[in-house]
Structure 1
Amino acid sequence: MPLLSVIIPVFNEVSTLASVVAAVRGCGIGNLELLVVDDCSSDGTRELLDGELGDKIDVVVKHEVNRGKGAALRSGIQASSGTFVVFQDADLEYDPRELRSMLELLESGVADVVYGSRFIHPSIRSVSPFWHRFVNKGLTMYSNFFTGLQLTDMETCYKMFPKAVLDKIELTEDRFGVEPEITAKAAAMDLRFLEVPISYARRSFEEGKKIGARDGFRALYVISKYAFV
């Protein structure tokens, strides 16, 4: 059975990390490698990793300075050993039980890359405000214009790739610009993309959400930058 590496980039998520680790372990995928990349947390996350979560995680990578999500994903990819790799945020917005349907598509060979789309799930209007849907749709459409893809959720966390594909992609974005970057560079490889609907439990900025307006502007820049890779 192929091994799935689940990479969790973490920055100051002490209140949710244990629940996310438990959810990943209980997602129904038997052959699973769990990697956590701590991006220099200062809220007790690192102590949690060194303590009660130590035997529940296969690989822990620690950054000594805060470098951003993109940098954390690069570290995780380099340390992973699975046949397939997927990214999992350390909050509770995404349900790991939905990873199995994504993995089945890759294992069956009907897709080379699978994205979990929040915006084709029937519950999205009840959990995501209009402005959030509008911004994400705009960024996705702008990305699609250059990549030729027909995605509905380019910014989704749930992106699943064969490890062999990721090993061929040189990622350089340190923050959330990694989302359009990895999409553009994978699209340039003429891979077959598929999306599956996933549920979404959006959290507020007061609850710890970190992506902001400057990341949206950065995404526009990154999409333009890698338009002709």
Structure 2
Amino acid sequence: MQIPTPPVFVVVPTYNEATALRQTLLPLIYEGYSVVVVDDCSIDNTFNTIQDLSIHYLRHPINLGQGAALQTGMQYALQQGADYIVHFDADGQHDYRELPALLAPVRSGAADIALGSRFRRSADAQAVPLLRRAVLKAAIIVNGLTTGLWLTDAHNGFRAMNRQAAEALRITENRMAHATEVLSLIRQNNLRVQEVPVHIIYTDYSKQKGQSALNSFNILIDLILKKLLL
């Protein structure tokens, strides 16, 4: 008799990603993952493009931000009995084929949470646009100083975790600063973390829709000021 695989829920926060969302979701569904789409009050035709898919669809009545969408998705997945939860971007930057490798240290019990890293392999690092690479390198230092967690990458939204980690990560930073908050919560809750090499796909669409280098810099300044004021 085949032993059933523990359920893996892939949480996909989305805001006005109708152009890429369906293509992002289809391979995840085909591979048998339970997909939770959290629509953060999109004003495009997001729902119409995916309403026929076998997914869990949640929608915020007002736009709250990616951090809030991830928290909503994780809470829902836990309520549905998730053993493992993955964070996955809606714009096509993450490769679904890397999910097994990302989940591997969590499923084996070697880590509570696995974080994707663009800088563990030289080819992956070279694919990162130069300005973004420089900002991310600065963010690594700021994150290390503010959270005590020193990693090779920063603000990488490709994550996999077990149920214990998902229950511990209570995200309160609604918008993009949640990425650093996640690291603080990992440290505060003594979660075992492991970085896994991943390749981020930078298309013209994802670069246009994604977080700009300037916005990343603003997040760093905001986090530094918060740390000084505490």
Q: TM-score range by the shorter chain?
A: 0.7 to 0.9
- Name 2:37's counterpart in structure 1: 36
What is the CA-CA distance between 1:48 and the residue it aligns to? 1.8
In structure 2, what residue type is equivalent to 1:46?
A: F
Q: How high is the TM-score relative to the length of structure 1?
A: 0.87
Residues 23-59 of structure 1 deviation map (CA, whole Å, 9 limit, x = unaligned): 21244xx4x3110001111221122233x33xx21x1
Q: How does 1:93-108 map to 2 (within 5 A)?
A: 93-108=93-108
> In the aligned structure 2, how far is the partner of 1:223 from the partner of 1:205?
30
Could you tell which deviates more after superposition, 142-151 or 94-103? 142-151
- Name 2:61's counterpart in structure 1: 64
Q: How does 1:185-224 map to 2 (within 5 A)?
A: 185-204=185-204, 208-212=208-212, 213-222=214-223
Question: 8 Å contact 1:6–1:86 — kept in the other structure?
Answer: yes
How many residues get paired?
A: 222
> In the aligned structure 1, how far is the partner of 2:126 from the partner of 2:104?
28
Q: Which of 10, 24, 34 is equivalent to 1:6?
A: 10
In structure 2, what residue type is equivalent to 1:67?
A: L
> In the aligned structure 1, how far is the partner of 2:167 from the partner of 2:223?
20
Q: How does 1:16-165 map to 2 (within 5 A)?
A: 16-27=20-31, 30=32, 32-50=33-51, 52-53=52-53, 56-57=54-55, 59-80=56-77, 81=80, 82-165=82-165
Could you tell which deviates more after superposition, 60-69 or 202-211? 202-211
Residues 89-137 of structure 1 deviation map (CA, whole Å, 9 limit, x = unaligned): 0111110111111212111111121011112233235422221111011
Question: 8 Å contact 1:13–1:90 — kept in the other structure?
Answer: yes
SS in 2 for 1:149: coil
In structure 2, what residue type is equivalent to 1:48?
A: T
- Name 2:171's counterpart in structure 1: 171
Could you tell which deviates more after superposition, 187-196 or 163-172? 163-172
Could you tell which deviates more after superposition, 120-129 or 11-20? 120-129
Unaligned runs of 5+ in 2: none
What is the CA-CA distance between 1:205 and the residue it aligns to? 6.6
> In the aligned structure 2, how far is the partner of 1:220 from the partner of 1:183?
17
Unaligned runs of 5+ in 1: none
Could you tell which deviates more after superposition, 141-150 or 92-101? 141-150
SS in 2 for 1:160: strand
> In the aligned structure 2, how far is the partner of 1:169 from the partner of 1:6?
16
What is the CA-CA distance between 1:83 and the residue it aligns to? 0.7
In structure 2, what residue type is equivalent to 1:214?
A: N
Residues 187-215 of structure 1 deviation map (CA, whole Å, 9 limit, x = unaligned): 12222211111111113478642423234
Paired-residue identity, %: 29
In structure 1, what residue type is equivalent to 2:15?
A: F
In structure 2, what residue type is equivalent to 1:3?
A: P
Could you tell which deviates more after superposition, 65-74 or 205-214? 205-214
Change in CA separation of 1:124 and 1:107 when aligned onto 2, cut-off 3 Å? closer
SS in 2 for 1:167: helix
Question: 8 Å contact 1:116–1:195 — kept in the other structure?
Answer: yes
- Give the root-mean-square deviation of aligned CA atoms: 2.3
More helix by share: 2
> In the aligned structure 2, how far is the partner of 1:139 from the partner of 1:196?
18
In structure 1, what residue type is equivalent to 2:17?
A: E
> In the aligned structure 1, how far is the partner of 2:130 from the partner of 2:120?
15
